Amino acid sequence: MFDFVPYLSFLTSGIGVLFSVYLFLRFRTYPKVYWLILLIFSLVFLEFYIFALTSKQIYQMLFLLRVPNIVRAFVPTLLYFYVWTMLHPKQKWKSYQYLHFLFPLVILIGVMPDILMSASEKRAIIDGYYEHNNFLLKMPAGWIPPGMVQPVSILFGISYGVFCLWMIYQSKKRYASPFAFINKQSLIWLQLLSAAVMLYFLLQFYQYLTLVLGYSFDPPSQIFKCTIAISLFTYFMSSPNVQENMDGCIIPNKHENETIVPPMEKICPQILPNYQQDEAIQQTDRLMKESY
C-alpha cells in the first residue's frame, strides 16, 4: 500500500535541491540566505537518506551510513542562525553564539569511527537493520553509546524550533507594531519555517518511538514530512513579498512618525550665499517696479 513512499522521499529531496539552487542563483549576494540554503539542503539530504534506506539503494551508497546523524545535529543550529540574522540584520555575532555549534561538533567527532569503517563493516550493519528494524538503535554510534544520538538530536531540534518561534515573538514585542506591520510577510515565513522544522523533528521522534517499540518504519509520518517540505517550498515560491526582503527584516526608526525638516544652511550650506543674493536682487527689482 505504501510502496510509493520511498519515491515520494526521493521526489521531495529532488524538489528541495532545485529550491536550493534557485535560492543560490537569485539571492547569492545576500549572505543571510546561505544559512537557509544549508538548512534546506540538510533537510532534503535527510529525506534522500530515507529513500536510500527504505528502497535498499543504500547498498550502492554505503558512504551515507551515519552521515544523517551529523546532518541532523546541524539542522537546529542552521535554523537558529538564519532566523537570528533575519531578525537582527544589523547586529554582529557575539562570541558566546559560537556555542551553538558545540553539540553538532560533538556528534561529528563522536560518529567519525563509523564513518571511517570499511565497506564490508558498513554492509554488515545495514544487513542487521533489515533483519531487525531497531538494530541501529541498539549499537553504538562511533564513540557514542547506543540509544543516545537519535533521541538527543531530535529533542535538540524540537527545542530549537520552539526557541526560534520565541525569538520571533520577542522581536515583535521589542520593536512593537511598526516592525510587525512592515515585516509581516517575512515574519510569517520565519514562523512557518521554524514550525516546519519543529514538526519535522516531532515526526522523527514518533518514527524513533515506533522503532524502539519494535514496530516497522511508519510510512504515514513520512508522507506527512514530505508534504510539509513541499508545502513550505510552494509557499516561498508563491510569496513575492517574502522574496523581496531576503536581506533581513526592516527595523523601523524610533521617530519614523515624525517629519523633521532641517534648516536650509544644513541642507545645502554652499548655495546659501547665492540664494540670499538672489533674494536681495528680487526684492530690489520688486521695489523699483512698485515705484513706477
- Summarised one tens digit per residue, pLDDT across range 239-265 is 888 888 888 888 876 634 433 445 555
With beta carbons less than 8 A apart as the criterion, state whether 127 and 44 touch: no
CB-based contacts of 52, cutoff 8 Å, min separation 6: 58, 61, 64
Give 133 or 111, the one with higher predicted confidence.
111
Among residues 171, 183, 179, 170, the alpha carbon closest in space to that of 254 is found at 179
**Residue 237 cell numbers, joined:** 515560491
In this predicted structure, what is the pLDDT of residue 140?
87
- Reply yes or no on whether the pLDDT at 176 is more than 80: no
| Position 274 confidence tier, pLDDT thresholds 50, 70, 90 | low
In this predicted structure, what is the pLDDT of residue 269?
56
Phi, psi dihedral angles at 90 (to 5 degrees): -100, -5
Q: What is the mean pLDDT of the chain?
A: 84
Cα dihedral value 10, 202, 134, 52, nearest 10: 10
* Mean pLDDT, rounded, for 218-232: 86
In this predicted structure, what is the pLDDT of residue 182?
85
**Residue 70 cell numbers, joined:** 551529523
Task: Give the Cβ contact number of residue 269 at 10 Å.
Answer: 10
- pLDDT, one tens digit per residue, over 112-131 is 998 999 999 999 988 988 88
**Residue 281 cell numbers, joined:** 536682487
- Residue 141's DSSP bridge partners are 144
Cβ-count burial of 260 within 10 angstroms (0-12 exposed, 13-18 middle, 19+ buried)? Answer: exposed
With beta carbons less than 8 A apart as the criterion, state whether 37 and 54 touch: no
Weakest-pLDDT range from 57-66, 211-220, 248-257: 248-257
- pLDDT, one tens digit per residue, over 178-197 is 888 888 899 999 999 999 99
Round to whole Å and give the CA distance between 5 and 181. Answer: 41
Round to whole Å and give the CA distance between 179 and 2. Answer: 46
Round to whole Å and give the CA distance between 145 and 150. Answer: 11
Q: Concatenated DSSP letters for 134-200?
A: TTGGGS-BTTBPTTSHHHHHHHHHHHHHHHHHHHHHHHHHHHHHHHHHHTHHHHHHHHHHHHHHHHH
CB-based contacts of 50, cutoff 8 Å, min separation 6: 6, 9, 222
- pLDDT, one tens digit per residue, over 78-109 is 999 999 999 988 888 888 999 999 999 999 99
In this predicted structure, what is the pLDDT of residue 137?
79
**Residue 216 cell numbers, joined:** 516497522
CB-based contacts of 244, cutoff 8 Å, min separation 6: none
With beta carbons less than 8 A apart as the criterion, state whether 72 and 66 touch: no
pTM comes to 0.82
